Structure 1
Amino acid sequence: MSAPRLELRGIAKRFDGLAVLDEISLHVRKGEFVSILGPSGAGKSTIFKLLTGGLAPDAGSVAFDGAPLLAERRPFAFMPQHDALMPWRRIIDNTTLGLEVQGMSRSAARERVMTLFPEFGLAGFEQHWPAQLSGGMRQRAALLRTVVQERDMLLLDEPFGALDALTRAGMQRWLQTMWERHSWTTLLITHDVREAVFLSDRIYVLTDRPARVLTEISVSLPRPRLDLASAQASAIEADLLHTLLNSTSEQRNRPCLTAVI
């Protein structure tokens, strides 16, 4: 079994005395698709802020390829919950933004991203404005902007949470296809149990705040995954829901957490 690309050990974080993360440990190996699943407000996005440099942990360590994660070298391409496309830039210029920020010339950045527009279902929309695209197309443009930077790992923070159910399902299938084609090492934050089962090799389930890793589940469903109505998929989903609901109920009944939202 290969060594982890990303490894978090004993990560803890507090805000104004309130414990948000409590001894979080997890890892992601090369080419894996790993999800972090937990209730809303459990601190999932705080983990990503620690990885992307927005926050520093109070305790614990983060390593990438066996070495401490350095502030000056963040090997992640990050996609947040909302597409964050700039409305005053055409789609071609939105997708090149990350490359230009890294110092690549506009012409070279355009040359790199243009080859990917057909693969991302955006051919013919290069000169459109973000407002002219559907929600799913905007998310594909945002993901193109993310992966074209060719970083070592993708961080996806509920990228389809704002989409309607039908569009979200289509995007999940599309992401599965792209992940299999490119072998991206991926860490996804989600509160959608079915999405986690559909996309993941492994799932870390967090408790309510202060978040701990309650359990780790391997998803042994064959790929490509076309039928989440199968008995095996339904059983995994039911087990995850049961675990989350019981954990949330137990945590919220503790007197020390009655003031936590």
Structure 2
Amino acid sequence: MSRLELRHVRKAFGGLDVLADISLSVGAGEFVSILGPSGAGKSTLFQLLTGAEHGEGEMLFDGARLDDHGRHFAFMPQRDALMPWRRILDNTTLGLEVQGMRRQAARACVAPLFAEFGLAGFERHFPAQLSGGMRQRAALLRTVVQQRDMLLLDEPFGALDALTRTAMQRWLEQMWRHHRWTALLITHDVREAVFLSDRIYVLSARPASIVREIKVPFSRPRCLGGEHARQASALEAEILDIILNPQSIQRTRP
């Protein structure tokens, strides 16, 4: 059974239709990405899931109507959103403290994970003292330590330079294989989606609907060279053609 299932979800702002008909699912331990042109409403979909906005249609979690949004999702926005006046240790505990956990208990939960996230020795640093990649790892640590059922990742590496972004994608794929988080990723980066995902949903332009659902057929761990790279490039080209030439694509799910 899918952990998350959306059925014919729609959203309009005033007279502007943003999401026309979105039906998708995410299984337990699955990494799913949503791709689409800029302005298609991808971030609006996350606003519906987190309860920041309300729309039409059905949203189910573990087969039940999605009502308590905060209980299920840990959300990582496009920017790291680290508070510059708090040290990294206290930035990573913020989500737990908001839930009501005392600071010392929150620190005890977070501290053992610093080495795994490549942040050991930087607990007492401020965000401005860290590289962009380290800041994003701190933001992801703050997200996953909340131990929610599912991660919502909204273009988490979009602000990074190309080399750092590639390194972070490889790191996230390794971390996902180790922890098997259930994750839904929004991205504009076709290569990122192919590298990280089990399945990809491609959206049309606004008002958005699902143009194609694509299963990524590559085994894990993913690599960046050899035959895998050639196969991945072919799939990337296919997806780009779907996004750039939507008029030639029949809107059906395989």
Per the normalisation by structure 2, the TM-score is: 0.95
Q: Distance in 1 between matches of 2:15 and 2:200?
A: 29
Q: Distance in 2 between matches of 1:245 and 1:72?
A: 34
Q: Distance in 2 between matches of 1:230 and 1:128?
A: 38
Q: How does 1:1-261 map to 2 (within 5 A)?
A: 3-57=1-55, 59-71=56-68, 73-227=70-224, 230-247=229-246
Post-superposition CA distance 1:23-50 (Å, at most 9, x none): 1000000000000000111000000000
Deviant stretches of 4+, over 6 Å? none
Q: Supply the AA of the counterpart residue of 2:49.
A: L
Q: Supply the AA of the counterpart residue of 1:40.
A: S
The answer to whether the 8 Å contact 2:92/2:141 transfers is yes
Q: How many corresponding residue pairs?
A: 247
Q: Distance in 2 between matches of 1:101 and 1:161?
A: 26
Q: Supply the AA of the counterpart residue of 2:198.
A: D
The answer to whether the 8 Å contact 2:150/2:181 transfers is yes
Alpha-carbon distance, 1:116 to partner: 0.0
Task: Mark the runs of 5 or more structure 1 residues left unpaired by the alignment.
Answer: 251-261
Alpha-carbon distance, 1:235 to partner: 1.1
Alpha-carbon distance, 1:71 to partner: 3.7
Post-superposition CA distance 1:202-256 (Å, at most 9, x none): 0000001000000000001111111266221111101000110001799xxxxxx
Alpha-carbon distance, 1:16 to partner: 1.6
Identity of aligned residues (%): 70
Task: Mark the runs of 5 or more structure 2 residues left unpaired by the alignment.
Answer: 250-254
The answer to whether the 8 Å contact 1:39/1:248 transfers is no
The answer to whether the 8 Å contact 2:151/2:181 transfers is yes
SS at match of 1:150: coil
CA RMSD of aligned residues (A): 1.3
Structure 1 202/72 Cα, relative in aligned 2: closer, same or farther at 3 Å?
Answer: closer
The answer to whether the 8 Å contact 2:19/2:41 transfers is yes
The answer to whether the 8 Å contact 1:202/1:217 transfers is yes
Per the normalisation by structure 1, the TM-score is: 0.92
Q: Supply the AA of the counterpart residue of 1:13.
A: K
The answer to whether the 8 Å contact 2:49/2:69 transfers is no
Q: Distance in 1 between matches of 2:94 and 2:192?
A: 29
Alpha-carbon distance, 1:73 to partner: 4.8
The answer to whether the 8 Å contact 2:50/2:70 transfers is no
Q: Supply the AA of the counterpart residue of 2:155.
A: E
